[in-house]
Chain A
Amino acid sequence: MSPQDRFSFARLNAMIVKEFVQIRRDTLTFGMMVGIPLLQLLLFGFAINSDPKHLPTAVRDADHGTMGRAVVAAMQASKYFEITVLPETEAEVETILAEGQAQFVVTVPVDFSRRVLRGERPALLVEADATDPAATANALNALEKLAGGAVSRDLVGPFAGLRQGAAPFDLRVHRRYNPEGETAFNIVPGLMGVVLTMTMVIMTCLAVTRERERGTMEALLAMPLKPIEVMLGKILPYIVIGYIQVVFIMVTAKLVFAVPMVGSLWLLSVVTVIFITANLAVGFTFSTIAANQLQAVEMGFFFFLPSILLSGFMFPFRGMPAWAQVMGEILPLTHFLRIVRGILLKGNGAGEILSDLGALLAFLVVVCSVAIRRYRMTLD
C-alpha cells in the first residue's frame, strides 16, 4: 500500500475547512440548521398543550334559576370552560357550533331548578363539538365529575335528602359531528391539508430556482414573458396535481376510514382550489428568494413545520397559547382545516365557512403580490 492510499488527516481537515467555508457562505442553510431545532423546541416545549383549558362555552339558560347558575359556575371554576356567548334560541346554538364559535353549548332547560328540588332529575344538555375529540375529551371527563357536586351546596334544609344517591340531575353529553369520538374523522380530513401544504409549496419552490440553477432563466427572461405569466404558468399545472392528491385522500377517507362526508363536495372543491393556489403562491415566493434548489426546499420545510404544528392538525388549536394561536391564524392550513372539518363533518355550507374562506383569500392575495413584486425581470 502506497502512502497516498492511506487515510490522511490533512485531507480530512481540508475537507472540513472547505465544508465550513461553504456553510458560512450559505447563510440560509446555516440559519435553518439553528432555526429548525429551535423552532421545534419552542413549539413542543411551550406551544403544545394537549389538555386545552378555557374552552369557549355557550350557555343557553332557559331556567334563569339558581341550580343552572350553580352548574355553570362550577364549570367555569374547573378552568376547562369559559363562558363566551349566551345564546337565546335553538337556532343560535346551531350556528355557534357550526361556525365553531364555541366548543360546548350548555342548555339549561325551563324549570330546571324547580325540578331538581322536586327530585325529578331533569336533564342538563351539554353539546360538544367533537370534530377534534382530543380537544374535548378532558373537559368532558372533568364535567362528569363536577356535575354532581355543583348543585349540592344549594340543596339545604328540606332538600338535603337529595344529596344522597344519584346526582340530582341527568347530565346528557352529546358529542356532535363525531359521536364516537373517532380521532380518524378529525385527522384524515386534516391530513389532506397537510399533504397539500407540504407538496404544493415544495413543488413551486423548486420551479423558479431550477430555472436559475440550470441556466434556462436567461432564455426565459429574454422572451417576452410577464412575471404574472411565469407565475401562473408555474402554478396552474400543480393545481391539477394537487387535485389528484385530494381525490386520492378523499377516496381513502371514505373507503378506509369511513369518514362522514355530510356537506357539499362541490363547495369543498372550490375551497380546495383556493387553498392549493395559496400554497403554490407561497412556494413561488420562496423560489424568488432562494438562491438554489436546496435553499428552496429548506424554506418550504420552514413553512411546513409551523403549519403542521400550529394549525390545529397535530394539537387542538384551543390548547395553544395566545401567541401560537395568532401565528396559527395567519397560516392557510389553519383555516383550511376548519373548513374541511366543517364541510365534511358538520355539513357546513358557504355561510358558515365565510370567515375562514375570507382569511384564505386574504392570504392568497398578499402572497401573490409579494411574489410578483419579488420576481425579477433581469438577471441582476
Chain B
Amino acid sequence: MTAAISVTGLTKRFSGRTVVDAIDLDVAEGQIMGFLGPNGSGKTTTIRMLCGLLRVDAGEGTCLGLDIREQTAAIKRQAGYMTQRFSLYEDMTVLENLDFTARVHGVPERRARVAEAVERMGLGDRGKQLAGQLSGGWKQRLALAACILHKPRLLLLDEPTAGVDPQARRDFWDRIHDFAADGMTVLVSTHYMDEAERCHAIAYIAYGRLVARGTVEQVTAASGLSAAAVRGHGGPGLVDRLKALPSVETTTSFGTVIHVAGHDGAALSADLETLAEQGVLTWVPEAPNLEDAFIHLMAGSHDNFAGTAS
C-alpha cells in the first residue's frame, strides 16, 4: 500500500510560538485516519499545511506523492478540504455554491455532477436556498458536497460533524466509508470518541505534538490503563469517593454505572474491592476505552509542556 500522506517533522510557528511541533504522519491510501486532540492542539493548522494553505516552517513530506512545499497547486487539484468554519458563500444559494466549486475545478459534465452531489447529500429541495440560511447540519452537508465534487483522491475534513445530529452524523460516516471503499483517503479531525472508533487508525495530537498513533486498540493498549464498571448501592457522593481513591485517575458516569480507570491495575482492584466489601458498590473489570486513553495522554503531555517551560 502506498502512502497518501507522508510527512516528517512538520512544524509551524506563529510569531515565534510553535503550534505544530515536528509531527510525523503517515496515512495509507484508502485509509480513514482520525485526527484527535484538544482545542488548540494544532489539528486545523496541520491540515492547512497539508493542503498548502499555510507555509511549512520545518519538515517535509508528500501528499498524494506531491511535495507539500513545492507542489501545492497540484495537491489542491486532487484534494478536497472541508474547513472547520463554514467557508462557502452565505449570500449564494446551495446550487450556486456547488456550481462555483465545480467550475473552479473544471469538473466535466458539471450540471450532472452538481445534480448528483445534491442528490447524494439529500440537498434536493434546498438547492435554491441561500447557504447562509441553512441550519448548521445542512451547511456541513453542503460543505462536504462541495469538497467531493471534483472526486478528490484525498479528503481533509476538519470537524465535519460538529453540531450535526446523531442520525446525520451516522449518515455522514457511512458516506465517508463509501468514499474510502472507492479508494479515497480520508483524514478527519473530530472530538467524538465514537467517530474515532470508526476510523481505521487514529492520531492524537496535544500541544502541537503527536502523542499517540495507531488503531484504537493499539492506542488504548499503549496507554497501559486498567478500567472497571462500578455500580453504586445508593448513597450520595460515590463519584467523589471514587475520585478520592489514589488508584483512580478518571471517572465517567453513565447513568447508574460509573466507569473508572487508572494506571495501577492491582491497586485499582484492591481499592474497589475494599469499597465493595463495605457494601458501597459492586464492580466488574472492563476494557479501558479511548476516552480514558486520551484523558491520560492529555494529562501526560500537559506535564511535559509545563516541565519544559519551567
> Which residues from 37 to 58 on chain B have a C-beta closer than 8 Å to any C-beta of chain A?
48, 51-55
Question: Chain A, 183-226, contact with B by CB distance < 8 Å: what is the 0/1 string?
Answer: 00000000000000000000000000000001111111111111
Q: In chain A, what residue has the closest Cβ to B12?
A: A380
B89 at interface (Cβ–Cβ under 8 A)? Answer: yes
Q: Given that A221-B53, A380-B54 are known contacts, is A215 also in contact with B104, CB under 8 Å in the complex?
A: no
Cβ–Cβ contact B83 & A215, under 8 A: yes
Q: Given that A214-B90, A379-B53 are known contacts, is A224 also in contact with B85, CB under 8 Å in the complex?
A: no
A378 at interface (Cβ–Cβ under 8 A)? Answer: yes
Q: Given that A222-B53, A224-B104 are known contacts, is A215 also in contact with B77, CB under 8 Å in the complex?
A: no
Cβ–Cβ contact B101 & A222, under 8 A: no
Chain A positions within 8 Å of B48 at CB level = 218, 379
Complexed CA–CA distance, A221 and B49 (Å): 12
Q: Given that A216-B88, A218-B53, A378-B52 are known contacts, is A224 also in contact with B83, CB under 8 Å in the complex?
A: no
Q: Given that A214-B90, A215-B83, A218-B87 are known contacts, is A225 also in contact with B51, CB under 8 Å in the complex?
A: no
Chain A positions within 8 Å of B14 at CB level = 380
B231 at interface (Cβ–Cβ under 8 A)? Answer: no
Complexed CA–CA distance, A84 and B107 (Å): 64
Chain B positions within 8 Å of A377 at CB level = 52, 72
> Which residues from 84 to 105 on chain B have a C-beta closer than 8 Å to any C-beta of chain A?
85-90, 101, 104-105
> Which residues from 146 to 171 on chain B have a C-beta closer than 8 Å to any C-beta of chain A?
146
Complexed CA–CA distance, A379 and B44 (Å): 12
B76 at interface (Cβ–Cβ under 8 A)? Answer: yes
Complexed CA–CA distance, A266 and B194 (Å): 68
B73 at interface (Cβ–Cβ under 8 A)? Answer: yes
> Which residues from 57 to 84 on chain B have a C-beta closer than 8 Å to any C-beta of chain A?
72-73, 76-77, 79, 81, 83
> Which residues from 214 to 255 on chain A have a C-beta closer than 8 Å to any C-beta of chain B?
214-226
Q: Which residue, of A215, A219, A379, has the highest number of chain B Cβ atoms within 10 A?
A: A219
Name the one of A215, A220, A222, A379 contacting B85, with C-beta atoms under 8 angstroms.
A215
B209 to chain A, nearest CB (A): 21
Cβ–Cβ contact A222 & B55, under 8 A: no
Q: Given that A215-B86, A216-B87 are known contacts, is A225 also in contact with B54, CB under 8 Å in the complex?
A: no
Complexed CA–CA distance, A219 and B83 (Å): 7
Q: In chain B, what residue has the closest Cβ to A219?
A: B87
Q: How many residues of A contact B (CB 8 A)?
A: 17
Interface residues on B, range: 20 to 34
Name the one of A214, A224, A379, A380 contacting B76, with C-beta atoms under 8 angstroms.
A224
A379 to chain B, nearest CB (A): 5
Cβ–Cβ contact A378 & B55, under 8 A: yes
Complexed CA–CA distance, A328 and B83 (Å): 46
Chain B positions within 8 Å of A216 at CB level = 87-89
Complexed CA–CA distance, A380 and B146 (Å): 24
Chain A positions within 8 Å of B51 at CB level = 222
Chain B positions within 8 Å of A223 at CB level = 76, 101, 104-105
Cβ–Cβ contact B54 & A224, under 8 A: no
Q: In chain B, what residue has the closest Cβ to A214?
A: B90
B222 to chain A, nearest CB (A): 34
Complexed CA–CA distance, A220 and B90 (Å): 14
Cβ–Cβ contact A378 & B105, under 8 A: no
Complexed CA–CA distance, A218 and B87 (Å): 7
Chain B positions within 8 Å of A221 at CB level = 53
Question: Chain B, 9-29, contact with A by CB distance < 8 Å: what is the 0/1 string?
Answer: 000001000000000000000
Chain B positions within 8 Å of A380 at CB level = 14, 54-55
B297 to chain A, nearest CB (A): 28
Question: Chain B, 213-231, contact with A by CB distance < 8 Å: what is the 0/1 string?
Answer: 0000000000000000000
Q: In chain B, what residue has the closest Cβ to A225?
A: B104
Cβ–Cβ contact B55 & A224, under 8 A: no
Q: In chain A, what residue has the closest Cβ to B83?
A: A218
Complexed CA–CA distance, A215 and B90 (Å): 10
Name the one of B77, B87, B89 contacting A224, with C-beta atoms under 8 angstroms.
B77
Q: In chain A, what residue has the closest Cβ to B55?
A: A378
Cβ–Cβ contact B87 & A215, under 8 A: yes
Q: Given that A224-B76, A224-B104, A224-B105 are known contacts, is A219 also in contact with B88, CB under 8 Å in the complex?
A: yes
Complexed CA–CA distance, A225 and B76 (Å): 9
Cβ–Cβ contact B83 & A222, under 8 A: yes
A176 to chain B, nearest CB (A): 52
Cβ–Cβ contact B85 & A218, under 8 A: yes
Q: In chain A, what residue has the closest Cβ to B13?
A: A380
A81 to chain B, nearest CB (A): 59
Cβ–Cβ contact A378 & B54, under 8 A: yes
A129 to chain B, nearest CB (A): 49
Chain B positions within 8 Å of A215 at CB level = 83, 85-87
Q: Which residue, of A214, A220, A225, A226, has the highest number of chain B Cβ atoms within 10 A?
A: A214
Chain B positions within 8 Å of A226 at CB level = 73
Chain A positions within 8 Å of B90 at CB level = 214
Chain B positions within 8 Å of A220 at CB level = 87
Q: Can you list 8 contacts pairing A with B, beta carbon distance less than 8 Å?
A: A214-B89, A219-B81, A222-B51, A224-B104, A378-B54, A379-B53, A379-B54, A380-B55
The 6 closest A-B pairs by CB, nearest first: A219-B87, A222-B81, A224-B76, A224-B77, A223-B104, A218-B87
Extra inter-chain contacts (19) besides given A222-B53, A223-B101, A378-B53, CB under 8 Å: A214-B90, A215-B86, A216-B89, A218-B53, A218-B85, A219-B81, A219-B83, A219-B87, A219-B88, A221-B53, A222-B52, A222-B79, A224-B73, A224-B105, A225-B104, A226-B73, A377-B52, A379-B48, A380-B14
